[in-house]
Each structure stands twice: as C-alpha cells, then as structure tokens.
Amino acid sequence: MSPTRLQLFRDASSLSVRDVILSAGDSLQTYREKLARIILDEMYQFVGLLDAKGMTLEINRAALEGAGINLSDIQDKPFWEARWWQVSRETRERQRELCGRAAAGEFIRCDMEIYGRSGGEGTITIDFSLLPVRDHQDKILFLLAEGRNITEKKVAEAEIAQKNEELQKLLEQIRHLDELKSDLFANISHELRTPLALILGPVESILASGNSLTELQRRDLSVIRHNAATLLKHVNDLLDLAKLDAGKMTMDYVDLDLARLVRTAAAHFDALASQKSVSHAVLAPDVLRAEVDPEKLERVLLNLLSNAFKFTPNGGRIQCALNVSGNRFVLTVQDSGPGIPPALRTSIFERFRQGQGGTTREFGGTGLGLSIAKDFVELHGGLITVSDAPIGGTLAQLEIPLRAPQGSIVRKQVGEPPTTSAIAASTTVEELRSGNTHEIQTWGEVGNPKVLVVEDHPEMRRFIAEILSNEFRVITAADGLEALSMAAAEMPDLVVTDLMMPKLGGDQFLRQMRELDALMQLPALVLSAKADETLRLRVLAELAQDYLVKPFSSAELLARVRNLVAMKRSRDMMQRELASQSQDLAFLTQELIASKRTIQNILQAQRRLSALVENSRDFISFASLEGHVMFVNPAGRELVGVAEDDVKGTVPLDYVLEEDRQMLSAGMAAALAKGNWEGEVRFRNLKTRASIPMFQHIFDVKDTETGQRIGLATISRDITERKRIEDGLRKAQTELAHVSRVASMGELTASIAHEINQPLVAIVANANACARMLDVRSPDLDEIRLAVRDIADDGERASQVLSRIRGLLKKSRPGKSELDMNEVITEVLPLIRGEMDKHRTKLVKGLQHGLPRVLGDRIELQQVIINLLLNGMEAMDSTLDRPRVLEIRSQVGKSGEVIIAVRDSGSGVSADQIGNLFSPFFTTKPGGMGMGLPISRTIIEAHGGTLGATPNQAGGATFQFTLAPAAQR
C-alpha cells in the first residue's frame, strides 16, 4: 500500500464521502475507482457518461443536484429526456440530434441553455461538449458529456455587446453633429465671403482711381482693405476646413515649374525681410517640373514662411530649400527662431491650436493655418514634419510625390498663378509688418486729462487714440505688461483696455493694477470683441467700471470715456479736500491743547506773560470775574481792532457780532459751571466792522494756591480759512450730488421718455378725435368737451413729469420745506417704471397713511430714493432663482420718526461689506460711479437722519433711512 494511502487510514479502517465508502481493505483497483467517483461527484461542472446510443450511464452529483434529479430515474434512459434538456422542445430535439452525431464519431461542442439550478427550476447557460470514446478497435463505446457553467460570462458578454452598440450609436451621432458643424461652417463662410468681396472690390477701385484722396482718407481706406482682406483670409480658412471635414476638397493638379512657384511665394516676403534685417535665402534648382495643386501648395508655403517670419527675431535667418529625392520632392523652410519644443510638435497641427490659452496670446490668427497645411499636404499624398533646424530654430519639411496619382486629371499651366493667393500673401505680410512696428506713441495735448489705451491691434489702437485725441491726452500700450508699467509711470485718469492681448491679457492686467495702492481706484473701460454676457458681468463686477463690445460707435466710446474721466476728476477733488480738511482740524486741536496748558502756567505766575502769548497768532484774552476784559494779546488786539489802552474798558461781548452775543453769554456761563466751553462764534473788528468766524475755547482760571476762581480766559482761532474750505466742500458736494443726479437721469432716459410719450400719445389721439368729431354736421359737444378735458389732464401730467425732471437736473441750492414722504416717493416712481421693466423687477409699495411731515429738500430726498431703488434693482440682476421683488415701505418709528425702507431680494451684503458701501468717494464697485450710496448718506445726514443697510434673513438687503418729523426739529 502506498504511504499516502496508509496515512489516510491511520485513524479509521473506513472513510465515507457522501455515497462513497473507502475502506482500508479495498483492492488498488477498487480504491482508484472510488477516488475517481469522488472526483466526478465533487466536480463543479457537468460530467456524464452515455452509451453509444445516448442512454445515460453515469452523471456526476453536481449536475444531478442542479436539476433535482436522482440518478436511478434517468439511468439507462435517453439522455435527452432528462430534466436538463426540457427547457424547450427545441433543446430536447437538439440534444437528441447531438447524441446522434456524437455516436457517429463527431466531437460536439456548443453553448446550451438548460435547467441547472434551483433544483431544476432555473436555467443556466453551459459550454457543452460530447466526446465519442472508442475502444482499441476504434469502435465507439461511450459518449462523454461535459458542461461548464458560463452563465455569468454570457451576461457579461451581452452587456459588452450592448455597450458596444451604444458606443456605435453615439459615434454615429457625433459624426452627424460633426457633419452639421461642417455644413454650418461652410454656409456661414459662404455668406461672409460675398459681403467681404463687396467691401474689398469698391475699396480697391477707390484706392486705385482716387488721386483726389487726402492722405487721411487713403490711410483709412487702406486700413479697411487690409482688415477686410484679413477677414477674408480667415473666412477662407474656415471654408477650407469645412470642405476638408466633409471630404469635399478636390485636387486641381497642374503640371508646372515648382521652382518658380517657390521663388514667387518667397519673394512676397522680401520687403519684410529687409525691414526686419532677416537674411532670407531660397535654394532651388532652376527648373523643377511637378504635378501639384498650385493654390494649395502655395497656401502651405505661405503659411510656413509667415510662421518663420513671425518667430524669427530681427537680424535672424530664414532659408527655404527645394530638392528632389527619388520620385518625391522635398521642400524645407527653416528659421533661427526659438524653435518648437518636441512635446508640441504634433499638437501644433491640431485645429484652433495656439501656443497659449486664456486671454494672453502672442500672435493673431485663428490657429487653423498649420492644420490646413497638413491636410493639404496629405491630399497630395505627402508628409509634413517639424524638427530642429541646423540653423537653430524650426525646420518644417514637406515630402510630396512629383507626379499626381494615376488617373488624376492634370492641367498644363496657363498664365500667372491665381490672384487670390497674391492677396493672401500680401495680407499675411502686411499683418506681420504692422505687428512689427509698434512704438509708444502719444496723441492729444499735454494739459488734457490722460487716457491710457491698451490694445494689441495696431490699427485699432490708432483708431481709438484718434477718437479720443481731441479731448484727451492719449498714451498707448500694446500689451498688458507694457500697460502696467505705463499706468504706474504716467498715472492716467482712465484706462481703456482690450481683453485678448499678448504677454498679459486685459483682465490680468487690471487685476494686477488693482493690487497697486496708487492705481487701485483708477477707473477702467474694457473694450472687447468678446460679447459673452457672463464674461462681461464678471469683468464689470470685479475689474472695470464700463464694458463696450467691439464693434462700437466712436461717439459712444467718447461719451463713456468723458463720463468716467469726469467722475474720476471730481472724486479726486473731493478726496483732496477731505484730506486737507481733516489735517487742518487735527492741527488745530493739538494747538489748542498745547496753548491752553501754556496759558495756565503763565497765569499761575500772575506776573509775566510769556513770549508765546505775546507772539501767538491766536486771540488770547483774560477777563475778571466781574466781566471786565483785563488783557488781550497783540494778535488778538489786531484782529478785533482795539488799542492796548482801550482794552480795559471793554467786556467780552464787545468783541462778537450782536447775533452771537447770546451764544457767547451762554458759553461763558457754561465755562463757569463746568470749567470750560468750546464753540464757533463770530468776532467783529471794531474798526472795520468785518465779521470773523472764530473757534473759541473758554476756560476758568483758578489760583493754584487757594483754588479760588480768579477769572475766565479764552483762546480763539480765526477759522475764516477753514470756513472757506467747508463752504467749498459743501458746494462741491452739491455739485457732485448734481452730477450724480444727472448721471442717474441719463440712465433713466428711456423710462422718462416713455413717461412723457404716453400722455403725448393720448393728447394727439384725442386732438385728432376732436377734429374728426367737429367735422360732423351736428357735433357731439359733450364728448368733445370730455376729450378736451382729457387733453388738459394729459398735458398737465406731462408737464408735471417734465418739471420733476427739471427739478432733478437743475443745479439748485438746497432748500428745505415741510414734505409728505409718501408724496415724495410717489412722484419719483414713474421715473423708474421703465427701468423696472428692463430689470424685470416687480415693485411692491407699502406706504403708511398719515405720516408726519418732515423738513427736507424734496429734490435731494428724491435723489436718495431713486438711488436706493436703482441700487436694489442692480443688486437683483444676478437673481435668477426667485422673483425679483423690490419693496418700498414708509412707516412711523417708535419715537415718531419717519422710516423709509427699500428691500431687495438680490445677492445681499455681508456685515463687513456694509461699511464699504457708504465710504465716501471710494469704490471698487462697477456700474456707474459708486457714488450713489455715499451721496445718499451725505444727504440724509445733512437732514439730521441716518441711512444704513442690513442683510435680510431670506436673502437680499434692506436699505433704510430715518428722518425726524418737522415738529420735533
């Protein structure tokens, strides 16, 4: 017995595995058979043995269990009648047929669906085989049936098949879309070519015939011609692309002298080469005959050459060579430029590909040139490659068969090459040349406000500069980097910038500019061909004060520039005034504190007055408790025009204007009671009778030893200068408020026009109706009377609107009267009704009846209400997910004050933004001047009220102001 078998029966003389009992006493033969039985039963797959007629002999246990069968039930019966094959009649018949074929000696293998799980209730798919087993005389004794469960594999395969099908469908859709896109391209391009041709043709003929043209007209026409030709080139590129995509590009083979074609194409660049001091050589045999499509080949060559010229710096080298190699010709263009990194050498042939993305880009063009070149070369059955040039830069190489493919139609060359390529060549060259000659240029007079124009397109740059040059000093930059350094050096009043530019795009430029303290508030107008609304809103929100889409009208550009510059100038002025005023106040306070201390020390000594008091520019005096002036310093005596000897006979009240005497008395009383008093009092000069505004500080003086009060001292400063500045400031504020009113009226023009138009329409219709009614023999006088009354009412209404607008536009000195705020609100609502429509905003009114009247300036308060309403509408421009509702409320507050609130459902404000909203003359906010809210606050504060903002819980913000009722003031 083998050692393993001994080992097996170490613990027991018999072992059982299901139905099989292994015993130690089994003969080797029996032992082996029993082991085979175990293997068979435990196998996971279907195994069975049939006799040569297909009667079942043995089936393994796994297969029996799968179908819920006892072996004894099917033994010696036809295999195909067993449960497995009863999935359908076909399955059973198929199995019978398979058994027959196997019995005839065939090896059978196929997939079958059978009952094989859940006790014969569920189906599985098996990879089934039937193998005929022969004896040594080659007679078939048995059929060995085997089956492996492949259900899961089948499911997976079905899934893959389905996915493939879906992919196929998607692919078809994409192809279809691609076709549509190509058609669209082709259609649009065709549509564009006609008008372009109609532009180019007449311009060419005017230029050719017009000797009478002025230099300026000639230049402008050349600009038109050049740009129309450029556009035509781009359109042709797109058209070619569409044709290529649709597979509709056909070859027009011509048997020609290729060497001559190459020399002609290269000659277009001679002038440019000498201008750039580039050495430009063509190495070609005298004559080389080849069959090519000349138009296409020339396009390829022009493209390669213009790329070479684009990238080769001044003083570099460009070489173009033509050779024959076997049955092909090899055309190379190499340059000494920076070369193309290996990683980019395949992607440069992709469509719309240009080195950089975003708004920064180095060179103009659609990025189609090389892609089309590659397609054209491939249409010739050729190859285009890019590698390092021996002379340092890029080597572009074409390899194209010398002969057209068999069966192509080849024409003989007649006459000159087609003219379209000549236009294309001159356009290409001109583009390169103009891009090559930028130098900083300035327009306009030196004293005018300064505008920095940033634009990479030289002609556009000159065009903008010329529009502005009558009123402004214009300086120009060709890209963002240059603009950044010029802005810092020149401190312009306004920047007008393009977005897509080389080196640094316009948005990046503005962003970096805003980070510099000195340029943070410099207003900017973006002028861009990108008419993308989201971009426009983003730029306006973050970077610029205004956005104009190219093409634009020059009048509009000029008007917008004027506005922005005027705003900037008045804002600068305000900031300067504010700064100098606050400096002044700080200085004054310090002086006062310092002087007061000095005087106390001096009075304490009671004997001498220090040189300081003697020499002080301020009015300094001392009065006894009895009310007699004891002393006035020299500057003070000078101020009020009193001689030293006369001082002793005066009382303090003598030195002030009669109107202010009561105030001074109260001040002195207060100083006696509290120790000191401060206030503004007008002094008078006893000789000239001039009135002098003074800031007066009165304080009592005590004996240091006894602590007993000995008198009152005053130190007063002449504040004429400060008053003058304050007056100027007030005037400037009124002016600014007016400017801002005019600006918002400008925004409201459409609404206002509508408001006046409506009654006018009614008046005209009524008048016409009256005329018709009067024509009748017996006119209906009552109806006519009604019509005439309507006319009068509408006329009244129109004139009211007009007078309201006139009020808002008039430069008036503020004048206060008692007002009903509900009336004030109701009057302005018609002015912004059109604006509401435009912003798709609904206005809700909640006006409380019987408001107490307030004392205020009607026009200024209306300005505040307009500002708040416009502000609310703008805040909701980005609101898309909920209704845009603007609510205006009036109500009486707890302590009787009148509250006016404007509530929006816009993007809202955060607590820390609120402070900034009102900071005077400071804005990073786009749209308008950012002065609306600060001015509104100034106005409300001048009315003794408060204006503030709070975020709403449900989104948006509420702006609210309060005014005290007239009776309380």
Instruction: Verify binding: residue 466, other proteins, rule CB under 8 A.
Output: no
Q: Given the complex with other proteins, which of 621 and 841 has the nearer CB atom? A: 841
791 SS3 class: helix
Tokens of 154: 């089948």
How many chain residues interact with other proteins (CB under 8 A)? 24
DSSP type of residue 138: S
Residue 334 or 766: which CB sits closer to other proteins? 766
Instruction: Give min distance, CB of 200 to other proteins, in A.
Output: 29
Site for other proteins in 94-113 (CB under 8 A): none
> Minimum distance between the CB of residue 778 and other proteins, rounded to whole angstroms?
13
State phi, psi for 127 to the nearest 5 degrees.
-90, 100
Nearer to other proteins, 338 or 883 (CB): 883
Could you say whether residue 560 binds other proteins (CB under 8 A)?
no
**DSSP 3-state assignment of 391?**
coil
By CB under 8 A, residue 773 contacts other proteins: yes
| Spatial distance between the Cα atoms of 599 and 614, rounded to a whole number of angstroms | 11
Which one among 293, 794, 897, 904 touches other proteins, defined by CB under 8 A?
A: 794
Site membership for other proteins, residue 765 (CB under 8 A):
yes
Kindly tell me which of 145 and 801 has the beta carbon lying closer to other proteins.
801
Name which of 679 and 834 has its Cβ closer to other proteins: 834
Site for other proteins contains 688 (CB under 8 A): no
Stretch that binds other proteins, among 418-426, 507-515, 736-744, 770-778 (CB under 8 A): 770-778
Closer residue to other proteins, CB minimum distance, 170 or 774:
774
Q: Are 30 and 11 in contact (CB under 8 A)?
A: no
What minimum distance in Å lies between the beta carbon of 883 and other proteins? 14
Stretch of residues binding other proteins (CB under 8 A), selected from 142-150, 487-495, 551-559, 788-796:
788-796
Spatial distance between the Cα atoms of 839 and 876, rounded to a whole number of angstroms: 8
Q: Interface with other proteins includes 768 (CB under 8 A)?
A: yes
| Span near other proteins by CB under 8 A; candidates 386-394, 415-423, 467-475, 760-768 | 760-768
Using rule CB under 8 A, residue 760 touches other proteins: yes
Stretch near other proteins under the rule CB under 8 A, chosen from 221-229, 536-544, 755-763, 866-874: 755-763
Least separation, in Å, of the C-beta of 765 and other proteins? 4
Give me the least distance between CB of 774 and other proteins, in Å please.
10
Q: What is the DSSP letter of 78?
A: B
- The answer to whether the CB of 51 falls within 8 A of the CB of 57 is yes
Q: Which of 635, 621, 629 has its CA nearest to residue 713? A: 621
DSSP string over 461-482: HHHHHHHHTTTSEEEEESSHHH
Residue 657 or 773 with smaller CB distance to other proteins: 773
Tell me the chain's radius of gyration from C-alpha atoms: 49
CB closer to other proteins, 834 vs 948: 834
Binding to other proteins, residues 691-750 (CB under 8 A): 750
Q: Which of 8, 769, 847, 966 is in the footprint of other proteins by CB under 8 A?
A: 769
d(CA 531, CA 547): 10
Q: How far is the CB of 794 from other proteins (least distance, A)?
A: 5
DSSP-derived secondary structure letter, 44: S
Nearer to other proteins, 30 or 757 (CB): 757
Exposure class string for 293-324: b at 16+ Cβ within 10 A, else e: bbebbbbbbbbbbbbbbbbbeeebbbbbbbee
Helices (H), 215-321: 215-246, 258-267, 270-275, 294-311
* Closer residue to other proteins in complex, CB, 167/761: 761
Collapsing DSSP to helix, strand or coil, 175 comes out as helix
| Given 22, 647, 787, 819, the residue binding other proteins (CB under 8 A) | 787
* Residue 99 DSSP SS3: helix
> Restricting to residues 803-862, which ones interact with other proteins according to CB under 8 A?
837
Q: Are strands 494-497 and 524-528 parallel, antiparallel or unpaired?
A: parallel
Residues 645 and 641: their CA atoms lie apart, in Å, by 12
- 788 is a contact residue toward other proteins (CB under 8 A): no
Residue 834 token pair: 């059109």
Name the token pair of 663: 């105030």
Among 283, 761, 781, 788, binds other proteins (CB under 8 A): 761
Q: How far is the CB of 815 from other proteins (least distance, A)?
A: 33
Q: Output the smallest distance, CB 768 to other proteins, in A.
A: 4
Q: Is the bond preceding 551 in cis, omega lying within 30 degrees of 0?
A: yes
Phi first, then psi, for residue 453 (nearest 5°) are: -105, 120
Shortest Cβ 905–other proteins spacing (Å): 19
759 binds other proteins (CB under 8 A): yes
CB nearer other proteins, residue 411 or residue 845: 845
Q: Is 884 in the site for other proteins (CB under 8 A)?
A: no
Only one residue has tokens 């504040």, namely: 719
Only one of the segments 28-36, 263-271, 488-496, 772-780 lies at the binding site for other proteins (rule: CB under 8 A); that segment is 772-780
CB of 800 to other proteins, least distance (A): 13
CA 420/CA 518 separation, integer angstroms? 52
DSSP string, 540-594: HHHT-SEEEESS--HHHHHHHHHHHHHHHHHHHHHHHHHHHHHHHHHHHHHHHHH
Which residue number, 183 or 796, has a Cβ lying nearer to other proteins? Answer: 796
Q: Does 245 bind other proteins (CB under 8 A)?
A: no
Q: For 457, which DSSP code?
A: S
CB of 805 to other proteins, least distance (A): 17
- The correct pick among 763, 865, 886, 957 for binding other proteins (CB under 8 A) is 763
- Tell me the C-alpha distance between 809 and 685, whole Å: 42
Contacts of 846 (CB under 8 A, 6+ apart): 887, 888, 889, 890, 891
Q: Are 368 and 353 in contact (CB under 8 A)?
A: no
Near other proteins by CB under 8 A, which window of 86-94, 484-492, 624-632, 765-773? 765-773
* Phi, psi for residue 334 in degrees, rounded to 5: -125, 150
- Taking the alpha carbons of 940, 945, 950, 955 in that order, is the dihedral positive or negative? negative
Least Å distance, CB 786 to other proteins, is: 8
Question: Smallest Cα–Cα separation from 717: which of 621, 850, 819, 576?
Answer: 621
Q: How far is the CB of 867 from other proteins (least distance, A)?
A: 25
Burial of 716 (0-12, 13-18, 19+ CB in 10 A): buried
762 or 902, CB closer to other proteins?
762
- The whole-angstrom separation of Cα 874 and Cα 927 is 9
Q: Could you tell me the smallest distance in angstroms from the CB atom of residue 775 to other proteins?
A: 9
- In the bound complex, what is the minimum distance in angstroms from residue 530's beta carbon to other proteins? 22
Determine which residue in the list 172, 783, 818, 941 makes contact with other proteins, applying CB under 8 A.
Answer: 783
793 vs 877, which CB is nearer to other proteins? 793
The smaller minimum CB distance to other proteins, of residues 289 and 772, is found at 772
What span, in angstroms and rounded, lies between the C-alpha atoms of 370 and 240?
A: 12
Q: For residues 217 and 768, which CB has a smaller minimum distance to other proteins in the complex? A: 768
Q: Please, which residue, 36 or 753, has the CB nearer to other proteins?
A: 753
Task: Pick between residue 779 and residue 846 the one whose CB is nearest to other proteins.
Answer: 779
Which one of residues 709, 772, 810, 882 is an interface residue with other proteins (CB under 8 A)? Answer: 772
Query: What is the 8-class DSSP label of residue 909?
Result: -
- In angstroms, how far apart are the furthest CA atoms of the chain? 163
**Structure-block tokens of residue 539:** 């730029």
Contacts with other proteins, residue ranges (CB under 8 A): 750, 754, 757-766, 768-769, 772-773, 776, 783, 787, 790, 793-794, 797, 837
